[in-house]
Amino acid sequence: MAGTDRQRDLIAEGPSIVLVEPQLGENIGMVARAMANFGLADLRLVNPRDGWPNSKAQAAASGASHVIERTSVHDTLAEALAGARYVVATTARQRDGFKTVLGPVEAARRLRSMHARSEPGAIVFGRERFGLDNEEVGLADDIVTFPVNPAFASLNLAQAVLLMSYEWMKSGLASETATQFAGPEFLSAPKKELFGMFAQLETALESRGYFRPPERKPVMTESLRAVLTRPGFSSEEIRVLRGIISSLDRFSPASPRGSGSPGDDPRRRSANGQRSGKMGDASDSDG
Ligand code: SAH
């Protein structure tokens, strides 16, 4: 039937819904049904507690058997997200860290614009009992939390999926967002700090003969700087990156952390005729 074919094309679109260690088959079934209601079809399960397939899920899915049938099972969240280019993690709880916190409307809008560029997205949901752990949230680009009653913030898993699926469907419409809590301010660092990182990295690369042949150095430097400029790093992020560059610069794989400095490594000294790790700037304090 032509109508059915068109519908199949439509429902194959959109972000994956990823459930981490879902416990109740009924919830998985209701998730599938909510997804089908709003045109999503790629359900991924990470270690479902009661295995897969699950008869309770099938019963609760009602007519959404097309979602149930193509549901995939994964050993790890990383594996379930492997093909995604933009990932949001949903949580009712405030988290520490660098991640931007979005409301469902803004999250759906970002997923939609990625989708328009054919960049696959994924929305991650946690276990019924305790949600997602920090490491799992850490695999996502952004955090999504719903505007809810702060004294009763935790939605049922399938209802949480329904809400995001609904926003996905509506995501053509722009709207103001409201979040229950805010992430850290993501102000881009003053350019001075960014340029300091350029200098540090370029010195470290230069001393290892990265710019080859020498006449390519300007164009290579330009690309490197473009890559480092695009994210609009904050001061904190630049500090983290500079600490990493310092550490790589200071310790060779053969000399584990704490065992010495570049000056102690005769191979590096002879290769460059000087200490290759010398940065002589603020980065040394970042460790
Ligand atoms: N008891 C858990 C919540 C589990 S609810 C906890 O305290 O974290 C199951 C999943 O639904 C959550 O892991 C999350 O993915 C989603 N969810 C529930 N309430 C939410 C909310 N207010 N905002 C965003 N996601 C929510």
pLDDT score at 85: 84
- Please state, in angstroms and rounded to a whole number, the distance separating the CA atoms of residues 89 and 59: 27
Structure tokens given for 265 = 């490594």
Ligand 1, pocket-test mutation among 90, 124, 137, 161, most atoms within 8 A of CB: 90
Tens-digit pLDDT string for the chain (287 aa): 333 444 544 455 899 999 999 999 999 999 999 999 999 999 999 999 999 999 999 999 998 999 999 999 999 999 999 988 888 999 999 988 778 899 999 999 999 988 888 888 999 999 999 999 998 998 888 999 999 999 999 999 999 999 999 999 988 554 444 455 666 666 778 888 988 999 999 999 999 999 999 999 999 998 898 888 888 788 999 999 999 999 998 876 655 554 444 444 444 433 333 333 333 333 333 33
Take atom 20 of ligand 1 and give the residue whose Cα is closest: 92
**d(Cα 146, Cα 103) in Å, to the nearest integer?**
6
Instruction: Tell me: cis bond preceding 213? Omega within 30 of 0 counts.
Output: yes
Ligand 1 atom closest to the Cα of residue 153 is 22
| pLDDT given at position 229 | 80
Distance 136 CA to ligand 1 centre (A): 13
Distance 214 CA to ligand 1 centre (A): 54
Domain boundaries, the chain: 16-171, 191-286
Q: Which residues line ligand 1 (CB under 6 A)?
A: 90-93, 125-126, 128, 130-132, 144-146, 148, 153-155, 157, 160
Peptide bond into 120 cis (omega under 30): no
Contact (Cβ atoms closer than 8 angstroms) between residue 72 and residue 58:
no
Q: Ligand 1 centroid vs 154 CA: distance in angstroms?
A: 5
Nearest atom in ligand 1 to the alpha carbon of residue 93 is 8
Spatial strand order of the sheet with 72-74 comes to 72-74, 43-46, 16-20, 121-125, 86-90, 142-144, 101-102
Atom of ligand 1 nearest to the CA of 126: 13
In this structure, CATH architecture of domain 16-171: 3-Layer(aba) Sandwich (3.40)
Q: What pLDDT was estimated at residue 183?
A: 67
- Best substitution site from 21, 91, 128 to test ligand 1's pocket, by max atoms within 8 Å of Cβ? 91
Closest CA to 158 of 53, 55, 64, 93: 64
The identity of residue 98, as a single letter, is F
Q: Which residues of 126-160 are buried (b: 16+ CB within 10 A; e: fewer)?
A: bbbeebbeeebbebbbbbbbbeeeeeebebebbeb
Supply the pLDDT for residue 251: 75
pLDDT (0 to 100) of residue 253: 63
The atom number, within ligand 1, closest to the CA of 124 reads 15
- Choice from 154, 157, 163, 166 to test ligand 1 binding pocket (greatest atom count within 8 A of CB): 154
